[in-house]
Amino acid sequence: MLMTALPNLPSPSPQRHVGAGRGNNSGAASSEGVYMRDMLRDIIAVVLFLVGTWVIWINRRPKSLPPGPPAGLMGSHTHLIPKTEPWKKFYEWHQMYGPVISFTFGPQNVISLGSAKAAWDLLEKRGDIYSSRPRSIVAGEILSDGNRGIFTPYNQRWRNWRSLMQAGMNPTASSAYRERQASESAVMLKEMLEKPEGHKDIIKRYATSVVFAIAYGRRVRSLDDEIVVRNSATENYAGKIVLPGKFLVDSWPILLWIPKSLQWFRWDAEVHRKMDTELYMDLMNTVKSQIDQGIAKDSMATRALSKQAQFGLNEEQTAYALAAPYAAGVGTTTTAADILLMAMLNYPECMKKAQEELDRVVGPHRLPDFSDEDALPYCTACIKEAQRWYTLAPTGFPHAVLQDDVYEGMFIPKGTTIYSNLYAIFQDSEMFPEPHVYRPERFLENDDPRFINFTLQFGFGRRICPGMHVASASLFLVFTRMLWSFNILPKKDELGRPIIPDPSVGQTQLVRAPLPFGVVLEPRNKEVSEVIAREAEAAEESLKDWL
């Protein structure tokens, strides 16, 4: 049957028969040759049939699945996805196939949402089924034993964890940290005056101290503090292992069937799990002993420990939950501030406009404060636009869908990984004309509530960043106070030419960050140093009894 279905292969020429011209055996040899030739033809036909069937099978795409690129021979798109900046490839596919595309990563179905509308429609309006996370074997299970909520599927354990995050960082709780943010940012400016070249670490110390105050009610005076060093080591490791494709077992869970002692992907992760648990328990136990001594400051830890049963978290789960603000809040805030500086170097005219606004509203005798926020719309627009212009979470953080669904006629199978492709969303020229240009005015010209209350950079639905109020408040103070104090200027090369950082490149671990660049912080006038010295002194006074 197979043979008849295939066109006849051309006969080889008689001169080339095996054994041709070898005396008496030539007849037998020639029939043997014919036999061999037919067999070869059968084998080739079978191979072609199998390969053809395989290719058709692996490229089978239920008609209604979202469109996407053709798969490779192994049925996957993995080989098409670059290891660095994969969202750029997804963006290309969005331009070819539309705002909702599907592809596979290993055996895993993936759907990427490249428009805000699709992300809102699915991740927010249908949040009851789109709020889970894809299975994360190494980072979520082996390293974290299900204790890091950011990797946890949408279940009761996540809800308990999330209720502690909400209690600690909802808008009302977040406003209680503002005084702390104001004091630490005044100290930050003083440190910048003294050591302008260290501005990046200075911002990092600020962000670290803020999240430690929120989580544990303690202050961080230096990045050399032992708890910071231990936390950084932990987060560096976690940041590295969440990169897609880092571990085969995350795509091929069947590898969990090999004997545990041979599972090489466990070895490092288990060592780190022990270290992390020790660190997080130490941090929580310090607060317990402060509570016993009556010297604990209000924090997520005091709240969690006094209502542990209400939150439904055991000791270890509580300790891990309290570590989340550091894990998710330092790198993000520091990078977002770095992006703002990069924007100012690329668009000095925007810096001038923002400074004019600050001079008009705040004047020269005090630092900007939260009470100025409503009167500083251009500065606020600069912050939103920086987060759009250079997104630090280009594919968002992946969600997973809990049941089969249909969206605009497209089938979305249960268990699919869903990327909210913020890179593609922010490049949507209908929503953001000339998307590559940094233009804060776009946020002032648009009265759409989604522009006024812009939260796309913080993700979607029930998983939306719980730290967004803390982050926005920090960015407001860091940006306005830095611009009020300093002209942000580029460094120069040996020929005196300004070195402007290139926004089209970056480096990615858990977040995407600009490549390192230098800035010159030039105090704007003589009074700046006096005001900073005065406000920093008052800040130190208010912080003096913080451990």
Phi and psi angles of residue 508, each rounded to the nearest 5 degrees, phi first: -125, 130
Work out how close the CB of 397 gets to ligand HEM at its nearest, in angstroms, rounded to a whole number. 4
Q: Is 467 in the site for ligand HEM (CB under 6 A)?
A: yes
Q: Is 469 in the site for ligand HEM (CB under 6 A)?
A: no
Work out how close the CB of 531 gets to ligand HEM at its nearest, in angstroms, rounded to a whole number. 27
Q: Is 473 in the site for ligand HEM (CB under 6 A)?
A: no
Joined tokens for residue 225: 């503090």
Work out how close the CB of 542 gets to ligand HEM at its nearest, in angstroms, rounded to a whole number. 21
Tokens 């009761």, located at residue: 156
DSSP string, 530-546: HHHHHHHHHHHHHHTT-
Which region, judged by CB under 6 A, interacts with ligand HEM, from 134-142, 251-259, 304-312, 329-337? 329-337
Complex with ligand HEM: residue 321 or 531, whichever CB lies closer: 321
Query: Which residue among 99, 440, 459, 501 contacts ligand HEM (CB under 6 A)?
Result: 459
Q: Is 319 in the site for ligand HEM (CB under 6 A)?
A: no
| Sheet containing 100-105: order of strands | 100-105, 108-113, 417-420, 399-400
Complex with ligand HEM: residue 196 or 503, whichever CB lies closer: 503
Angle formed by the axes of helices 199-216 and 264-293, nearest 10°: 70
Give the Cβ contact number of residue 478 at 10 Å: 25
Q: Is 454 in the site for ligand HEM (CB under 6 A)?
A: no
Q: Is 149 in the site for ligand HEM (CB under 6 A)?
A: yes
Q: Is 465 in the site for ligand HEM (CB under 6 A)?
A: yes
Taking CB under 6 A as the rule, which mask of x and - marks residues 364-403 in contact with ligand HEM?
Answer: ----------------------------xx--xx------
Query: Which residue among 110, 186, 470, 528 contacts ligand HEM (CB under 6 A)?
Result: 470
Whole-Å CA distances, 300 to 174, 181, 200, 322, 544: 11, 16, 27, 7, 21
Task: List the one residue out of 360, 375, 385 whose CA is nearest residue 446.
Answer: 385
Distance, in Å, from the CA atom of 51 to the CA atom of 301, rounded to the nearest integer, reads 59
Closest CB to ligand HEM: residue number: 467
Q: Between residue 165 and residue 184, which ones bind ligand HEM under the rule CB under 6 A?
A: 165
Count the helices and strands in the chain (H runs, E runs): 21, 10
Cβ-proximal residues to 285 (8 Å cutoff; 6+ apart), any chain: none
Task: List the one residue out of 126, 123, 129 whose CA is nearest residue 154.
Answer: 129
Which region, judged by CB under 6 A, interacts with ligand HEM, from 295-303, 305-313, 457-465, 477-485? 457-465
Give the Cβ contact number of residue 13 at 10 Å: 8
Distance, in Å, from the CA atom of 349 to the CA atom of 441, rounded to the nearest integer, reads 12
Q: Which amino acid is at 441?
A: E
Complex with ligand HEM: residue 333 or 485, whichever CB lies closer: 333
Q: Is 514 in the site for ligand HEM (CB under 6 A)?
A: no
Taking CB under 6 A as the rule, which mask of x and - marks residues 259-278 in contact with ligand HEM?
Answer: --------------------
Q: What DSSP character marks residue 149? A: G
CA 134 to chain centre: 14
Joined tokens for residue 388: 């759009």
Q: Is 218 in the site for ligand HEM (CB under 6 A)?
A: no
Distance, in Å, from the CA atom of 375 to the CA atom of 372, rounded to the nearest integer, reads 5
Which region, judged by CB under 6 A, interacts with ligand HEM, from 38-46, 53-61, 251-259, 452-460? 452-460
Whole-Å CA distances, 449 to 14, 432, 443, 452, 453: 82, 15, 10, 5, 6
Q: Is 331 in the site for ligand HEM (CB under 6 A)?
A: no
Tokens 């100025």, located at residue: 372
Q: Between residue 29 and residue 58, which ones bind ligand HEM under the rule CB under 6 A?
A: none
Q: What is the dihedral of CA 360, 363, 367, 370, to 10 degrees?
A: -40
Joined tokens for residue 432: 């953001």
Q: Is 336 in the site for ligand HEM (CB under 6 A)?
A: yes
Give the count of residues interacting with ligand HEM (CB under 6 A).
27
Distance, in Å, from the CA atom of 149 to the CA atom of 271, rounded to the nearest integer, reads 20
Query: Which residue among 6, 227, 375, 464 contacts ligand HEM (CB under 6 A)?
Result: 464
Give the Cβ contact number of residue 429 at 10 Å: 9
Query: Which residue among 115, 332, 346, 380 contacts ligand HEM (CB under 6 A)?
Result: 332
Distance, in Å, from the CA atom of 44 to the CA atom of 211, rounded to the nearest integer, reads 65
Distance, in Å, from the CA atom of 520 to the CA atom of 498, rounded to the nearest integer, reads 11
Give the Cβ contact number of residue 155 at 10 Å: 11
Work out how close the CB of 339 gets to ligand HEM at its nearest, in angstroms, rounded to a whole number. 9
Q: Is 460 in the site for ligand HEM (CB under 6 A)?
A: yes
Work out how close the CB of 340 gets to ligand HEM at its nearest, in angstroms, rounded to a whole number. 10
Q: Is 321 in the site for ligand HEM (CB under 6 A)?
A: no
Complex with ligand HEM: residue 470 or 488, whichever CB lies closer: 470
Taking CB under 6 A as the rule, which mask of x and - marks residues 481-510 in contact with ligand HEM?
Answer: ------------------------------
Complex with ligand HEM: residue 331 or 501, whichever CB lies closer: 331
Q: Is 112 in the site for ligand HEM (CB under 6 A)?
A: no
350 annotated to a ligand binding site = no
Query: Which residue among 101, 113, 118, 211 contacts ligand HEM (CB under 6 A)?
Result: 211
Q: Is 300 in the site for ligand HEM (CB under 6 A)?
A: no
Work out how close the CB of 338 gets to ligand HEM at its nearest, in angstroms, rounded to a whole number. 11
Q: Is 324 in the site for ligand HEM (CB under 6 A)?
A: yes
CA 408 to chain centre: 27
Three-class SS state of 62: coil
Work out how close the CB of 311 gets to ligand HEM at its nearest, in angstroms, rounded to a whole number. 15
Distance, in Å, from the CA atom of 286 to the CA atom of 212, rounded to the nearest integer, reads 13
Query: Which residue ranges are tagged as binding site?
Result: 465
Residues that bind ligand HEM (CB under 6 A): 149-150, 162, 165, 211, 324-325, 328-329, 332-333, 336, 392-393, 396-397, 457-460, 463-467, 470-471
Query: Which residue ranges are tagged as binding site for heme?
Result: 465
